[in-house]
Amino acid sequence: MDIKYIKAFNDNYIWTIEKGGKIIVVDPGDAGPVIDYLRGRNLDYIILTHKHMDHVGGLDELKIKYGPRVYGPIETREYNDVTLRDGDDFELLGENLKVISTGGHTEDHISYLVDGNLFCGDALFLAGCGRVFTKDYKKSYEGLNKLKNLADDTLVYPGHEYSLANLEFAKSVISNGDLDREYERVKKLREEGKITLPSTIGKEKKINPFFLARDLDEFIDFRDKKDNF
């Protein structure tokens, strides 16, 4: 199984999962870059994490061109062939995909665990988490705690390149050597125009203030500070 990325908009990553000549695309917000990437190959499946247009905007064109089977949460049901809920398991390309509810950013945001790889949309970022547009901070906090309990070596594939800005904020509320080292690593990569992802759950436990929050109140405090940073 190969995991690759397609850049879209200013800072989106559209991830691909590829095996045996078949392709899954995660959150195609823009059809153009996906079509360019495929170069005549077929698109077999699309999996969606949530309803925001920078994650679903390319669907109509891709469905017309390739006819992929689409899997997604309740909030993307207008696009879905299969609608998923927390705890669902299903198989694509011979791989098991486990659905984890990670709401808060949107009402029904979900993440996918695929053979030790986490595709988490806008729920979790390197050193950060998504804005809680629903104002349901408890749901967001609980979703992140589910992800925090995954194996430390789980690779984390978010939907955006927010790493440097997230680390700059993290340094304003927590302090440790792991965070300092990660900041220098990411800063160098961004200066070179390179991707900073994936992260790992083990790394996030050391550098992500939203993983390190001691309780819901501190999580809300960190989120409010980040929103105004």
Q: What is the pLDDT of residues 171-201, one digit of tens each?
A: 999 999 999 999 999 999 999 999 999 999 9
pLDDT in tens, 116-139: 999 999 999 999 999 999 999 999
Cβ contact 197:158 at 8 Å: yes
What's the mean pLDDT in 7-30? 98
Q: Which helix (H) or strand (E) holds 107?
A: none
Six-digit token string for 217? 């109140």
78 — pLDDT class (breaks 50, 70, 90): very high
Q: In the predicted model, is pLDDT for residue 40 greater than 90?
A: no
pLDDT at residue 228 greater than cutoff 90: yes
- Beta strand extents in 41-150 (DSSP E only): 45-47, 69-72, 82-83, 89-92, 95-101, 110-114, 117-121, 124-125, 128-129
Q: Domain map of the chain by residue range? A: 2-161
pTM: 0.97
* Averaged pLDDT of the chain: 98
Asked if 106 and 30 count as a contact pair (C-beta separation under 8 A), the reply is no
- Alpha-helical segments (H) within the chain: 31-38, 53-56, 59-66, 137-148, 163-173, 177-191, 201-207, 209-212, 216-227
Evaluated on CA atoms 201, 205, 209, 215, the torsion sign reads positive
Q: Which CATH superfamily is domain 2-161 in?
A: Ribonuclease Z/Hydroxyacylglutathione hydrolase-like (3.60.15.10)
